[in-house]
Amino acid sequence: MIFTRFLSLLWRHSPRKTALIFATTTLAGLTEGIGLLLLVPLLASLQSQSADSGGMAARVGQMVQQFGVPNTTKSIVMIFVGLVALRAIIDYLRSVVSQRIQLELMDDLRSQTFAALLGAQWKWLLGLRKSDHTSLLLNDIARISQGLSVSIQFLVNIVRLAIYLLVAAALSVPMTAVALLVGVIAALLLRKQHSRAGQLGRRLNNAHKVMQQIIDEGLGGIKLTKILGNEHRHRQVMEQIMQNLRDQRLAFTRVNARAGALFQVIIALFLAGFLIIGLDYLTLQMESLLILVLILARAAPMFRKLQSDINILLHAEPALDSLSQTLSQADQHQDTPDQGAEAPLALNHTIRLKNISFSYGHEGRYALRDITLDIPANKTTAIKGASGSGKSTLADMIMGLLTPDTGEITIDGQELTSANRRAWRQSIAYVPQDVFLFHDSIRNNLLWARMDADDDALEQALRKAAAEFVFDLPDGLDTVVGDGGIRLSGGERQRIALARAMLNAPKLLILDEATSALDLENELRIRDSIQTLHGDLTMIIIGHRLPTLENADQIITVDAGTATVG
Ligand SMILES: Nc1ncnc2c1ncn2[C@@H]1O[C@H](COP(=O)(O)OP(=O)(O)OP(=O)(O)O)[C@@H](O)[C@H]1O
């Protein structure tokens, strides 16, 4: 059953709270059932009928007396009111507990997915579309949450229906059997609608992903869009996607509403038939018949609700599939497990690459092939080569972000394995060509590398990175850099990123085309400041341009995935 899939999520998250929901649901159902039964003698007494000893009213009256309560209208009314109040309290408790567990579970799923993605291997992450995961984290998990809420409601309604059935059976077994039969037939008739709801759910999943992608790409490439004057095209695509989403949602509403309309007619016909059979053929007592009709009138919309809840659950199920699929794939591609506070790996002698080959997964296409080289510690190594030759892949390999298909990397003779890869990364600072800055102040962007750095340390790092321009900004370190650092020039962004890298006192500093956006003057200043670090740490500088390379102790030339030292 589909709703058990959602409930088992709740159970795994908190068995205690799920059990509490189940207990309160059953209790609320029981109080309602007893309340309904109490109506029988109440109605009988209101009709001034003497409850004959064989009638239901008398039996319920005797039950009440067994509990030491006088069988009078007044006391039955009091119990009835008490039961309603008790049920209200139980319902309140259940609502709070189920809302709490839903919110907790949603947060848990989000952080679990987020952590799984953050902890996944770089190679696997490279093959993913970011917008799919944004859509999963935002839309799909919201739909799963709706599924959870509906499945709790589903459970509540099933328990209530079961108790209604018991009360109805106590009043008349044949009438209950007829009602059950009609229920089964109605459920069979509505089955086709369920498979349609499942299909629509899957389509909605895809429509959400496409919408997220269009938004991400449209806003990410907004500058190019403006230059090309393509705003209308993006708007059109967005409108088409929204139309598609609207159609999917309307189609789902239509499926549900059609079933609802059909159901109402069936129930009206059934109620009429029920009354006639009860009165003319089974000669039921009026009070029993009234309660039966009351139960039926309550059960029918609840039964209908169960059907539409199944539709909603089937509609939400693809989101659950998508989540489990991502989680299991991310699990299979988990990076080195976080071992807590690990000491950074020492680097005093050599980083050695021995017969390293690596492919991004394309058959026979090697990004690196049979590379053997040494990178001496506390020296500067330059890596040069044509675009696409494999320089960045080599840097990712040295940082332990990519794992070689064959060959091994050793740090001071110690092989880089999944056990020490994370510790190794702690010793490294990396400045890429496209630096990443948060939409935050320069201070916070720097502190991201070392939380405990004081203003003196920040200032020193900025000076080392030739980023003194920060001191001339009106807000200085508190200047907010804008989305991705958009309020700074490309060169300023790179210098902030370099300062951030310096702040962490790395053992290995990798600059991947990190000075490419700088003018010659600033590039020379950075080269000079890097020069002052010479001997204190190991540096790998990837680049094409002379100034950054000319002071290197060794130059590695990469060509179509092979490397020569010279
Ligand atoms: N994520 C990826 N998936 C598949 N192939 C990739 C991926 N990244 C790089 N490649 C391929 O691997 C090869 C080496 O790429 P790499 O980025 O290492 O080159 P590079 O020398 O750093 O280039 P550039 O100087 O242009 O940055 C190229 O053929 C490239 O197409």
Classified by CATH at the fold level, domain 98-332 comes out as ABC transporter transmembrane region fold (1.20.1560)
Cα distance between residue 267 and residue 272, in whole Å: 9
Among the residue ranges 181-190, 350-359, 453-462, 499-508, the one predicted with the least confidence is 181-190
> What pLDDT score does 368 carry?
93
CB 560 less than 6 A from any atom of ligand 1: no
Mutate to test the pocket of ligand 1, among 357, 360, 396, 544 (most ligand atoms within 8 A of CB): 360
By mean pLDDT, which of 277-286, 299-308, 428-437, 476-485 is the weakest?
277-286
Instruction: Give pLDDT, residue 55.
Output: 66
Mutate to test the pocket of ligand 1, among 393, 557, 562 (most ligand atoms within 8 A of CB): 393
559 lines ligand 1 (CB under 6 A): no
Separation between Cα atoms, residue 75 and residue 64, nearest integer Å? 9
3-state secondary structure of 246: helix
Distance 220 CA to ligand 1 centre (A): 22
Is ipTM > 0.85 here? yes
Instruction: Report the pLDDT value the prediction gives residue 216, as an integer from 0 to 100.
Output: 79
* Tokens, residue 18: 């799920």
Which pLDDT score is estimated for 523?
74
Most informative mutation of 387, 391, 549 for ligand 1 (most atoms within 8 A of CB): 391
Q: Does the pLDDT of residue 355 top 70, yes or no?
A: yes
**Confidence class of residue 339 from pLDDT cuts 50, 70 and 90?**
low
CA angle 368, 374, 378 (to 5 degrees): 125
341 confidence band (pLDDT: 50, 70, 90): low
Distance CA 21, CA 371 (A): 61
- What per-residue string of b and e applies to 237-266 under the rule 16 or more CB within 10 Å gives b? beeebeebbeebeebbeebbeebeeebeeb
More confident residue, 522 or 449: 449
Fold match between domain 98-332 and domain 350-565:
no
Cβ of 516 closer than 6 Å to ligand 1, yes or no, is no
User: Quick check: 49 pLDDT over 60?
Assistant: no
- Supply the residue whose CA is at minimum distance from atom 6 of ligand 1: 360
Instruction: Report the pLDDT value the prediction gives residue 370, as an integer from 0 to 100.
Output: 92
Of 90-94, 159-163, 343-347, which range is least confident? 343-347
pLDDT at residue 298 is higher than 70: yes
Q: Mean of the pLDDT values across residues 325-339?
A: 83
The predicted model gives 48-73 an average pLDDT of 66
Tens digit of each residue's pLDDT (9 = 90 or more) over 143-156: 899 899 999 888 88
Q: What ranges in 429-551 are assigned the alpha helix state H?
A: 442-447, 455-464, 469-472, 490-503, 520-533, 546-549
Query: How many angstroms does the Cα of residue 125 sit away from the middle of ligand 1?
Result: 15
- Going by alpha carbons, the residue nearest to atom 29 of ligand 1 is 388
Distance (angstroms) between ligand 1 centre and the Cα of 389 equals 7
CA angle 424, 425, 430 (to 5 degrees): 135
Best mean pLDDT range from 28-32, 131-135, 167-171, 392-396: 392-396
Instruction: Return d(Cα 431, Cα 437) in angstroms, integer.
Output: 11
State the distance from the centre of ligand 1 to the C-alpha of 392, rounded, in angstroms: 7
pLDDT digits (tens, 9 = 90+) for 541-559: 888 765 666 778 899 999 9
Is residue 356 a contact partner of residue 501, using CB atoms and an 8 Å limit?
A: no
How many angstroms separate the CA atoms of 131 and 179, rounded? Answer: 50
For 217-274, write each residue's pLDDT tens digit.
777 777 777 777 778 888 888 888 888 888 888 888 887 788 778 777 877 887 788 7
Percent of the chain with pLDDT over 90: 17
- Which residue has the least CA distance to atom 3 on ligand 1? 360
The pLDDT of 25-44, averaged and rounded, is: 81
Rounded CA separation 557/545 (Å): 13
- pLDDT at residue 50 greater than cutoff 50: no
Ligand 1 center to residue 367 CA distance, Å?
A: 7
* pLDDT tens column, 464-484: 888 888 888 888 888 888 877
> 561: exposed, middle or buried (C-beta count within 10 Å: 0-12, 13-18, 19+)?
buried
Q: Which pLDDT does position 353 carry in this prediction?
A: 94
Residue 225 and residue 191 in contact, taking contact as beta carbons nearer than 8 Å: no
- Token couple for 240: 């088409």
Fold of the domain built from segment(s) 350-565? Rossmann fold (3.40.50)
CA 561–ligand 1 middle distance (angstroms) = 10
* Average pLDDT of span 20-47: 80
Question: Stretch 117-139: mean pLDDT, rounded?
Answer: 87
Mean predicted lDDT score pLDDT of the chain? 83
Residue 191 has pLDDT above 70, yes or no: yes
Q: Inform me whether the pLDDT recorded for 517 exceeds 80.
A: no
The SS3 assignment for 382 reads: strand
From ligand 1's centre to the CA of 444, what distance in Å?
A: 32
Question: How far is it, in rounded angstroms, from Cα 197 to Cα 180?
Answer: 25
Q: How confident is the model at residue 51 (pLDDT cuts 50, 70, 90)?
A: very low
**What are 334's strand-pairing partners?**
120
Instruction: Please state whether 511 falls in left (phi above 0), alpha (psi between -120 and 50) or beta.
Output: beta
Probe residue for ligand 1, chosen from 125, 356, 392, 541 as the CB with the greatest number of ligand atoms within 8 Å? 392
- Tell me, using a 6 A CB cutoff, whether residue 367 lines ligand 1: yes
Q: Where are the domains of the chain?
A: 98-332, 350-565
Which band of pLDDT confidence, cut at 50, 70 and 90, is reported for residue 342?
A: low
